[in-house]
Structures are given as C-alpha cells and as structure tokens.
Chains A and B, each alone.
Chain A
Amino acid sequence: MYLYNLTLQRPTGILAAIYGNFSGGKVQEIVVARGKVLDLVRPDENGKLQTILSVEIFGAIRSLAQFRLTGAQKDYIVVGSDSGRIVILDYNKEKNVFDKIHQETYGKSGCRRIVPGQYLAIDPKGRAVMIGACEKQKLVYVLNRDTAARLTISSPLEAHKSHTVTYSICGVDCGFDNPIFASIELDYSEADQDSTGQAASEAQKNLTFYELDLGLNHVSRKWSEQVDNGANMLVTVPGGGDGPSGVLVCAENFVIYKNQGHPDVRAVIPRRADLPAERGVLIVSAATHKQKSMFFFLLQTEYGDIFKVTLEHDNDRVTELKIKYFDTIPVSAAMCVLKSGFLFAASEFGNHALYQFQAIGEEEDVEASSMTLMETEEGFQPVFFQPRGLKNLVRIDQLESLMPIMDMKVNNLFEEETPQIFTLCGRGPRSSLRILRTGLAISEMAVSQLPGVPSAVWTVKKNVNDEFDAYIVVSFANATLVLSIGETVEEVSDSGFLDTTPSLAVSLIGDDSLMQVHPNGIRHIREDGRINEWRTPGKRTIVKVGSNRLQVVIALSGGELVYFVVDLTGNLKEVEKHEMSGDVACLDIAPVPEGRQRSRFLAVGSYDNTIRILSLDPDDCMQILSVQSVSSAPESLLFLEVQASVGGEDGADHPASLFLNAGLQNGVLFRTMVDMVTGQLSDSRSRFLGLRAPKLFSIVVRGRRAMLCLSSRPWLGYIHQGHFLLTPLSYETLEFAASFSSDQCAEGVVAVAGDALRVFTIERLGETFNETVVPLRYTPRKFVLHPKRKLLVMIESDQGAFTAEEREAAKKECFEAAGMGENGNANNEQMENGGEDEDKDDPLSDEQYGYPKAESDKWVSCIRVLDPRTSTTTCLLELQDNEAAFSICTVNFHDKEYGTLLAVGTAKGLQFWPKRSLAAGFIHIYRFKDDGKTLELLHKTQVEGVPLALCQFQGRLLAGIGPVLRLYDLGKKRLLRKCENKLFPNTIVNIHTYRDRIYVGDIQESFHFCKYRRDENQLYIFADDCVPRWVTASLHIDFDTVAGADKFGNIYFVRLPQDVSDEIEEDPTGGKIKWEQGKLNGAPNKVEEIVQYHIGDVVTSLQKASLIPGGGECIIYGTVMGCLGALLPFTSRDDVDFFSHLEMYMRQEHPPLCGRDHMAFRSAYFPVKDVIDGDLCEQFPTLPMDLQRKIADELDRTPGEILKKLEEVRNKIV
C-alpha cells in the first residue's frame, strides 16, 4: 500500500510570534511559527489579520527572533529549529517568499538536550545572536555587513557550561558597548553526586551575563549572581540612553529587576483572590512596548491575567518596579505589541486575537510595587486582585484555531453533498465543537424576495470609469425588473430597459451606453437616452448572447451567428454573419485585452458535444481556429484571462494566459488553455462539480477576475498564492449570478435562487474549510454519533476545576463584593456608555477568564447530547463527586430489551501526581429517551481502574480497564463479568472489533490482536507488535490491518501477514496452542509494519472517509496543533512512480526552508515507508520556472503536466 499525504488544514496553533517590519518600510508584520509552518501575518487597514505567506518547513520550529542591523529599515528572521542549524531568513516582498540568507550547521538534528535551537536571543542593536540548548551549549554568532551591505554571519563562538540547565536567555541592551547576553542557569553537577540531598536542596539558579568581546572575538562569562529559584523567563530592559538596561527576571510569584552592579528590585505579582494557596503565579508570555519617551512591559500569567510592568528610573538606577493589573485575555503562547496600537495574542489553545489598545493602563488599578513589598515570616506578603472586564483592550479580530483537536469524526449528518468533519476542539471554557465543511465561507449581505421566480440577474455600470454598479437587472419568464443601486436598492422605470420582455443579456457597451438583449432584438441605450433597436429578421429569435465591452455575438434559433462591434461613434454595427451547422448551445467572447480594440476569440458550444473557437479578426472573421470535442453538450462557456504575474503577494511567477472554461451538461467543468496567438487549445482538465450542468460567471475577487460556477452547489475558481484553486462555497444552490460592487460592498456577488435575490461576499480566500462553532463547557474528550438519530453524544472533563454550582456561588460572591466596593463607579460608567456595554451581561465570561483553579484532585465532567443541526444541547448530565468521564461508546446488548444504550467509563478522584491513583472507576450505562434526546441512567458498575476504552462486541461490552480487557454483559443492577484477559502490558487505550477479532491498542506497547472463543469463553492475544508505540489514535482498516498514531507524531499501519492470518483462521484452536508459547515476551505472532510516516505533530484522531462525492476513501487525521490531513491510497503503480520521483527531485532541488533534511524529518523516529509527501510535491509551483522545467525534463513531462497531476490528486481528496 502506498499513500499520499496531503495537509488539508495547516496547523492553526501558534507557538512563537515575533513582530517587526519584514518587508521593509513602515508596514507592521508578524511572523508566527505554527510548529512546522512559518506564516507571515499582517493586520490590514481595517484591523483584519491577513495571512500573506505560509510556508511548510518540514521541521519543528522551536524559537523565533527578529533583528535589524543598525541603520537598516528591515528586520531579519532567525529561526531555531530541530535542524541543528541556525537559519536567517529575509522576507522578499517582490516574490512573496522567505529567502534563506544564511544557514549554519552547528550540531546534530533533532530536538536534543544539548543541541542548541531551543532558545534564541538577539543583541538589541542587531550585532549578535545567541542560540542555546536546554543544557550546556550556547553559541554566539556575530552579525555584520560586508562591503555590499549584505548580512554576514561569523563562525560560532562557544559559551558552553557543562552540567548546567538553561531556563531562558535574552540579550541585554547596553547600547553600543560590547553585546551582552543574560541567561538563567542551574548547575546540577553536585546534586547528582550527593546522596544526602543537601546539594540538591541548595542548588541555586544563577543569572549569568555573557559578554561578547567584539574586538577579541571571544565570549566570556562576565558576571553571575544568584537569582530566585523560581526564575523561568528573562525580558530585556531597554538601555543605552532609552532606559536603565539590565533584565527583568520573571520568577514564580515575583518579577525582579537585575543588572550588574545594581541591587535587586523585586515586586510580587498580584494573585487572583480565588487562587488556591499552594499554586504559584508564573509568567508565560511577555511583550515589550518601547517609544522614544517611555517603555513598558506586558507580562501574562499562566491564568491569563496581563500585568503592565513599569520601571521608575533615574538614568541607570532603578528606584521602583511597579506591576499593575492591566486586563485578562486567554492565556497566550506569545504576545506582540504593535507600534500601530495593537496587541496580537497567540492563544495557547483556541482562537488567536488581535486587540486594539483603548488605554495603556494609566488609570487606577491593583498594583504591586517594589516600594510596598512587605516581607513577613511566611515570606513576602501577596497582593490580591479580582479580574474584571476588558478596560484597556478591545478585540477587533480573530484568527481561528482548532488547536487542540481532541476527537474528530467525518460523517454526512446534514445530508449535504459532501460530508462534514465534526471536531472537538479547545480546552476548558474555550472548548467547542466545530463543524467543518469543505468550501469557502460566505457572508450574506442581503436577501430580498422578488415578485416572481427570476431566471437571470446582471449588474451594470453606467460608465466604464464608474467604480460601482448602477443597476441590478433581473429577468423573469416574461418581464425584466430594473433596480437601481444607491443608498438603498429600489425599482426604477426610467432606465430605458424594456421591461415587458425577458432579457438574455444586459451589459455596458462602449464607454457609456447600455445594451439589453432580449429574444426579439438588441436594445442599445445611449448615455443621452437615445435608444436604438435592432430586430431579429423574420420570426427567428435570439437564443444565446456573448459579449464583451466592444463586441457582441448573438446566436439566432437555427444556428446563425450575428457579429456586431461598437464603432468609433459608439454605434453597434453588424459586421458578419455565420451559419453554424446546428443550434448553438452557448457562446462566449474573450474579454478585450488591455490596449486592444477587440478580442480575437469567440467560443461556440454546440449540441454535438463540440466547442469551436472562431476568429473575430477582420481578416479571417468567423474562421474556425480549433475544435474541441467534450464528453457532453456544453451548457455554459467562459473565457478567463489570467494576468501575467512576477510573483508578489498574490502569486507565483507565471506568464499571462487565457483559459476557456466550459460547464458540461453531465456536471463536469472542462478547462483548457487557449493559445493567445493561434487559438489552439491545449492542456485540458476536467472536474466533476455536481449534479447540474455548471453555469459559469465572471466575477471579481481581490481585484482580479475569477470564475463562479453554479452547479448543484456554487464553486469559485480563483488564483491564490500561485495556485489555481477551484473551491466550493458553503451556500445553497444558485441559479444565476453576477458580480456586484457598491458603496457598502466592494466585491460582492448578486445571485438569484428560488424567488429571492441574494447579495453576498466571499471570505477568507485560500482556506479549505469553513467552520460552525458550538461552544462546550469543559475539555471535550471523546464523542460518538448516535447511529439512528443523528445526534452527537460527547464527554467533557476538566481537572482542577470547580463544579458549576461552586463556580456560580463564587461568582455571585465576587460580584457582590465588587459591587459594594465600586458602586458609584459602576453606575457612572454605565451612564457614559449609554448602558450599551454588552459585557455587563456576563462581566466575567469563563471563555475570557478561564475557570478558577481548584486543587488538582478535583474533577468536573459532563455528558452532553447535542443536536448538530440546531446546535442545541438536548441533554447535559454533570457528573458529581469528582467523577470524570474518559470513554464512551454506544452498545446494543444482544437481549435487545433497551435497544441502543450508551456506555460511559468514568474515574473518581483521579490523580496523576505523585503517583497515579484513583478512588474508583465506573462504567455507567445510560438509555436514550425522547428519540435519543435525553439520557437516563440504568446503572453504574464499579471497576478497579479507569476504563479508558469501551467497545461493543458481539452483543456485549468490551472494556479496557488498565491492563485488563474484560467482556461484560448487561445485568439488571449492574454489568456482569463474562470473561477477561489480564495480560496486556500497560493500559488499554482503544479497542476495535471486527468479526471475532479484537484489536487492542496499549498506551505504550502498540497493538495487540485478540480473539474471543465463545465455546471456551476465552479471550487471548494471538499477535502483537514488536515496536513500543505510545498509541494516541487508532483506526481499523481491514481484517488484518490497523492504523495507529503515536505520541511522537508518527502514523503507522500494521498488518498481520497473510499466511499467519490464514493459519489462525484455519487452526481449530485459533492459534491458541501457539499462544501458549509466546515470542519476545509477547504473543507468538508479530504484525508487520507496512506504512510509517512522521507527521511532526501528535495525531489525536484518525478517520476513514471520502470528502468528495464519488471520491476514494482516504484516512483523515487531526492533530493537537489543529491540523487536518489526509492519506490517500494510490490506485496505480504509475502514480506511485511519478510521485516518488517528483518527491525525490523536490528533495534534491528544493530542500526545506529551515535546514532540516526532508527525508530525515519524515523518518524522525522510524524510517519513512511507502508514504509520499504531497505537501512537498505541492511546493513545485513555487519553484522558479527554470527549476520547474529542469525537474519536469527529468520526469519526461512538461511543468504543466506536473501541475495537472498535482491538481488531479488533490481533487481526489478534497
């Protein structure tokens, strides 16, 4: 089996973000690392975050930093990754790519203990960079300019210290003196030797300054001093005239200012009043804002509270450090304060957000200061505060993030054309069920009912130079309605259009006149109101029209074509007639090329399944230039012109070209390239779009021509980052559409469907999925589909949280307290805001502030029945007494008394530290009531461990409880044990069954294949895997094959060899005798690994599904970082050969951006086997043209053919 891996949704979580001017100039940009993807994001003028560039780097990004050489206008990006190399990137604005400026190897690849890459620090003046590892190694590279002003990098200078763990490093701002780097270090050498534990208890973290002597080209330890043992992070303090220099040491509960030769200035971090006493407060992310006159820091704690830290200083003496409560936003992995007054917060889990500053925390608020620091016998006196609504920030945009995907299922519950992907995302109060549909999101602007059922709609401008459309013209079966576009859209009768007849086409002709084509003629309305009518000869009627701004061709019934042009005086002049052999099915004229008087091509589709290209040149007018036969009669034709591009933000380098698109009656879209000179057709592609013949319309998307195809659902064909994408829109079936541009909506679409007129815009181009979000209460764990009722049943559990009642009570108490305190204030505020403040309804939404922390042995959990069609929860059962649900399945017991039942595995009082322990485990059995909408507990059965896996098997229930696999039957009061096997190595985490086989996944030891012998009532293991895999997800593929994913980011398939499988099936004892003599401390048979692939992300769910109608099944996976991908099995050997060669050439010619070897990355834990990386192959169009040709030559193909292949295989998946 060969598989093709393709990422459908790039990772959406963010682990690091830096901010600067990467394209040069004044534009504020953010570079974010999403695990294996590097993105450039820019807030546009409306404050919407736009992803400008997104590059898959085939490695793990661990740290990012930006620097600027003195006097330069532009920032460079330094990437610390698992490649064992330091990589410096430059964003190339013209080509819209990251250019690799330098790549220096310093160590082995992989995320290792002593290989740098974990930490990066930059000298604030951009003269040096330090790259550090978790332990021992730190390297300093000197950055400089050569005579041609190019960036140079030196050989590395070592700043190693053995037996030393590094917690954080940062640059120290010391102006133009020698660069200094600070680091928090801990020496463990003595603690490792001393068995009394004294050395360990005395182990002390140190803050060490390393000085790079630029003259001597040498790094020395300059200064080292003890620092609080809770220290975890360093933040650079501005210096060199802008501030006092030195560093802020963020420690558990404290922020300390430190500098060489300066006494410590320490202040406590205020605590939330409801925080349990044993919990500390740790800073997890920081951002610095620096202006000429002032600077401040924003530090975020692990609970989401942001504090503004300011330093009172007199030159380089710091007199006071103040920590003031600023605002609370969801916990972020990285924050950036933009110079334009925005705060970008990359959330750890859930959507990322862009906030605008309303204020910078100048108002009174809870504040801790170094001056008021009180030391008592129990330590420093804490300062308390109560989180409140946002005062200083206001959220203006979000970036969606699926991180983490906890569980995922693909099913067509809504009975749409394509299945929906149901994902459980997020954590704690920010959890959600997200329903993903393939296609672009639509935002509907208006829907208005029309008096009849319209057949067509057009929009026209009054003048070529107008920015906006003037009229919407709607045609009915026997009338035409004209709506004028202004402040409002209303019907007009003075437009000159004939309203007593249906229309065939309405458009702008010449510079400023309008044309209406109706069955009996052409009505030409001049700007001054004069009307010219051309009438059809005899009783013939016009059936089809094709036009551009200067040319019109009509087809009369019977198959005659009449060609008109607009002459210099603006009149429509008949030029030529041409008799076709039969009726014309459709026709289109290419748009007038820039600087030309006419277009050369007319395309005519006929019912004899052909499309002809006719010339419109005066010399060879109506000559047939080429003929293309197609699989079915064409219904609609459209020429789409692609402008030449030299790269830049909207695409890769490609020459201008003209495409002819045809919607065929069998629902296929046929697309072929037209030679701009000869009119010859080449490079044709077809794709099935839906059950109806696609109608094609030209619209404008991001200022470029794009194609709207209306089949049984609408599709949009457009160019995005160099790729032509044909993507469905998530919208209902439309009849007819036109582009729409008005004051309120610059790039919209007006369409008719049924008896309604709809105006909508298309959002978030380039995305594969659009999502519908249903919020949940706690971290979702698993869910099942109720097979008959189309309901979802899910379990949610959170550790260390209070129950709903406790939270409610605490909240009430807190409001009462707050209300008393600032009664006057609150009222005033409300008056000022006109009482419109929405936050007042729920001033402390858990989504924003998180759940208050409880002791770690407290659990909250619930079971929810959700109707996805209405997004409503029909039943929600909160579990009591620290019980938490971990597994769920539906089961039909064979006595069928109750029908389908729900089994939920729970644990009470589960604790992981210091040792895994629990009070009790239970299996609950629920029965569905009210058409499955509610649950009723039948009984619960106590078990000895956590039932982490449940599965139905032959009318009974299989449960994996720790290392025990047990078969239960339903009893009246409890479940009855029928059979068990205790021989599993660790903990069973998932169970699949097929016929009489049971496939069991162990948390640490991969899969075990078991059999149940009914006559002997025995469960036994007959085969297992010889590789220790930490299974996180599993999927049953066929009788002998199981797919799994492990904790280290690998996907693998194991298969029982055919002969072993046959032997076991034929053996009357079912291989039982052999089982008694196991091999390698395990079962007698071993499964073989047939597929192995490193994803680079923890896969949490695997599903088998086909995402397009009629497409082959592929395996869909979801990951912790919020990435969705697919593995498609190849069906032909030729394709395997082609793609493995393409992959090989891509590896050679286009090595990954951040220096990781592609093959080594995909083989990070086990050698890659039989999987071809589609993500690498899809980078082919981004290569320069000559490289594309070179690779294509090696493969004996043209670049166009390779692109076609790539498009084909993608179209098989999504």
Chain B
Amino acid sequence: MQASDRFNINSQLEHLQAKYVGTGHADLNRFEWAVNIQRDSYASYVGHYPVLAYFAIAENESIGRERYNFMQKMLLPCGLPPEREDD
C-alpha cells in the first residue's frame, strides 16, 4: 500500500466505516439503513432516562423491563433481512 492510498476517498471511507458503526456506503440498501436507524433510536431511548420513563408509563411496565426490551430489539430491529439477490 502506497502512502498516497491512505488519503484517497475510498480508504478514508473505509476508515470511517470501520470506526463509526452506521457510516453508509454507495450500495447501502433500504433494510440496512433502517436497521441502523432503529438501533440508533433504541440506544438513544436507553441512554435518555426520561424518554425511557416516558415509554414505561405508556406501556405500564417497569423502567428496567423497558430498557431490557429495547436492548433485546437491537438484535433484529426490522425483522429478518431480505433475501440477497445474488450478483
């Protein structure tokens, strides 16, 4: 790898994608994008305690249960991924 490669746009992008989860790319599909948004949202709900409490009141669950549910939903936030069209 040449020194100049480090500064080209592709390797910069790759670096960002490796460092920051959720950085998009040109071939990002709708599902991947949605999954990211959902995971970010759930992480935000868990991080903001007043929001968590707000959900807990709406669903009449304890805050601890609500946090657990959100963390569990991180696994498949948008259901199963679509089948890949083989290229």
Contacts and interface: CB of A to CB of B under 8 A. Distances in A.
A196 B84 CA distance: 11
28 contacts: A35-B49, A113-B21, A113-B43, A114-B20, A114-B21, A134-B43, A135-B21, A167-B71, A188-B75, A200-B75, A232-B68, A252-B68, A302-B62, A331-B63, A333-B63, A348-B56, A404-B54, A427-B60, A799-B60, A912-B59, A1032-B54, A1047-B51, A1096-B50, A1097-B50, A1098-B53, A1098-B54, A1120-B53, A1121-B49
B51 A232 contact: no
Nearest to B31: A192
B14 interface: no
B57 interface: yes
B30 interface: no
A1049 interface: yes
B76 A284 contact: no
B53 A348 contact: yes
What are the 5 tightest A-B residue pairs by CB atom distance, in nearest-first order?
A284-B64, A111-B47, A113-B43, A302-B62, A799-B60
Nearest to A300: B64
Given A113-B39, A302-B61, 7 more contacts: A35-B49, A60-B48, A191-B76, A232-B71, A331-B62, A1049-B51, A1120-B50
A195 B83 contact: yes
Chain B interface main SS type = helix
A649 to B, nearest CB: 28
B60 A428 contact: yes
A406 to B, nearest CB: 8
A428 B58 CA distance: 11
Contacts of A918: none
A404 B51 CA distance: 11
Contacts, number: 143
Interface string B12-32: 000000001110000000001
Given A195-B81, A203-B75, A1120-B50, A348 B62 contact: yes
Given A136-B21, A195-B83, A282-B68, A1048 B60 contact: no
Interface of B: 20-22, 32, 35, 39-40, 42-44, 46-51, 53-54, 56-65, 68, 71, 74-76, 80-84
Contacts of A403: 53
A74 B82 CA distance: 56
Nearest to B83: A195
The residue among A135, A303, A1096 with the most chain B CB atoms within 10 A of its own CB is A135
Contact of B49 (A62, A798, A1048): A62
Contact of B43 (A135, A162, A167, A1047): A135
Contacts of B35: 192
A779 B60 contact: yes
Interface residues of A, number: 64
A284 B62 contact: yes
A1206 B39 CA distance: 44
A1059 B40 CA distance: 41
B53 A1121 contact: yes
A1119 interface: yes
Given A282-B68, A1047-B51, A165 B74 contact: yes
A60 B47 contact: yes
A252 B46 CA distance: 18
The residue among A192, A406, A856 with the most chain B CB atoms within 10 A of its own CB is A192
Nearest to A114: B21
A486 interface: no
B40 A113 contact: yes
A62 B49 CA distance: 7
A1097 B76 CA distance: 29
B53 to A, nearest CB: 5
Contacts of B46: 118, 134
A1049 B81 contact: no
A912 B50 contact: no
A302 B64 contact: yes
A333 B43 CA distance: 19
Contacts of B64: 232, 282-285, 302, 331, 333, 348
Nearest to B21: A114
Given A62-B47, A779-B60, A135 B74 contact: yes
Contacts of A194: 80-81
Contacts of B43: 111-113, 118, 133-135
